[in-house]
Amino acid sequence: MYGKMKDHLSKTIAEIKEAGLYKEERLIESAQQAAITVKGKEVLNFCANNYLGLSNHPRLIAAAQKIMEHRGYGMSSVRFICGTQDIHKELEAAISDYFRTEDTILYAACFDANGGVFEPLFSEEDAIISDSLNHASIIDGVRLCKAKRYRYANADMAELEKCLQEVQAQRFRIIVTDGVFSMDGNVAPMDKICDFAEKYDALVMVDESHSAGVVGPTGHGVSEQYNTYGRVDIYTGTLGKAFGGALGGFTTGRKEIIDLLRQRSRPYLFSNSLAPGIIGASLEVFKMLKESNVLHDKLVENVNYFRDKMTAAGFDIKPTQSAICAVMLYDAKLSQVYAARMQEEGIYVTGFYYPVVPKEQARIRVQISAGHEKAHLDKCIAAFIKVGKELGVLK
């Protein structure tokens, strides 16, 4: 049988390559930071989710090493059998404190958090209303649930209200949105979403993966930015982006919701608990963010500088309210050629194209970090301009 399947797979892969949609994985030969080593050459990294520049921070490395000396390397168990250490509960409390919520549950990744949140809470009697640009993990999580599904155009409040009007007969209703939409960089209008939720008696869930540590006056996410504390019922998020860049996800929110997830969320019940080293480093992250806002302040300064310079140079950039700057190229092959030329210029970026983004919406997604210095930003901007003129993107 595999002979037949092999032919089918080979043909499919060839078609992906022919369409210019084949994804190559480039090898990094150093730690993840602003300047990385690729093929023996130092390049500047502008496509990591390392928003606060913490992925190789010495305090996190030291914290991970210290905790492993006292709590070991791995857990070898799920949480409810023998996989819960005191430090797991400490981290859950730190996350709850950060988001001003009642309780938190840890997962191996935010993909698992989103995959495990809907099915235990909602049934065919209920309705889930989801933003059209929500992350794939939310889409997959919704698919695992029997609730009725509705979708509204990205951040379109008129469509959201129509959906809410349609689902008034359902037992429970929940509006689900990303905080920051990962491909465009825009922020969900949480104040308006919460207003509609209260008007039409619905719950609210937001994925803070790209917004926590980034948006809001001190980077505490969308509820800080829109003052919606107490109005959002469920937050999901990751420890793999601004909060250190390793592994781990979480769901935080109402106490009873978290309690039921501990009893019935399958990714939580059947996955190993997070390793002590990750827990130790993550605890250090939240300690650092309580001490000072200096990293977030630098991130905001870097984003504003880069966006303003790129716009002035004539690039088509999606309106952004986050650390994500989408440089629009529209053509899939062009985005790959552009990214390859940028690497030759010492800038590590990635072209995004279908199916990651809609067809004819190819782009280079630039991600700014507090780890970048002004000289890094200037070099990246200069390379964009040089390659843009070569490839006819700029005149």
Catalytic one of 182, 211, 273, 335: 182
The amino acid occupying position 238 is: T
Residues 6 or more apart whose Cβ sits within 8 Å of residue 274:
75, 88, 106, 108, 247, 248
Q: Based on the residue annotation, tell me whether 255 is a catalytic residue of this protein.
A: no
Whole-angstrom Cα distance, residue 362 to residue 329?
A: 6
- Answer yes or no: is 282 a known binding residue: no
- The secondary structure of residue 126, as a DSSP letter, is -
Residue 376 backbone phi and psi in degrees, to 5: -65, -45
Q: Is 296 a catalytic residue?
A: no
According to the annotation, is 390 in a ligand binding site? no
- Residue 182 annotated as binding? yes
Does the annotation list 220 as a binding residue?
no
272 assigned to a ligand binding site:
yes
Is 103 assigned a ligand-binding role in the annotation? no
Q: Which of 367, 214, 225 is nearest to 298 (CA)?
A: 214
Task: Spot the catalytic one: 88, 241, 296, 376.
Answer: 241
Find out whether 224 is annotated in a ligand binding site.
no
Q: What is the 3-state secondary structure (H, E, C) of 32-80?
A: CCCEEEECCEEEEECCCCCCCCCCCCHHHHHHHHHHHHHHCCCCCCCHH
Q: How many CA atoms lie within 13 A of 232 on its CB side?
A: 32
> Which residue, 374, 378, 281, is CA-closest to 56?
281
8 is in an annotated binding site: no
- Whether 269 has a binding-site annotation, put simply, is no
On whether 238 is known to bind a ligand per the annotation, the reply is: yes
- Secondary structure element (H or E) that encloses residue 178, with its range: strand 173-178
On whether 365 is known to bind a ligand per the annotation, the reply is yes
Has 335 been labeled as part of a binding site?
Answer: no
210 is catalytic: yes
User: Of 96, 130, 137, 210, which is the active-site residue?
Assistant: 210
Residue 239, annotated as binding a ligand: yes
Binding site feature residues for pyridoxal 5'-phosphate: 110-111, 182, 207-210, 238-241, 271-272
Binding site for substrate, by residue number, is 135, 365
Q: Which residues are annotated as a binding site?
A: 110-111, 135, 182, 207-210, 238-241, 271-272, 365
Would you please indicate which residues are annotated as catalytic (active-site) residues?
A: 182, 210, 241
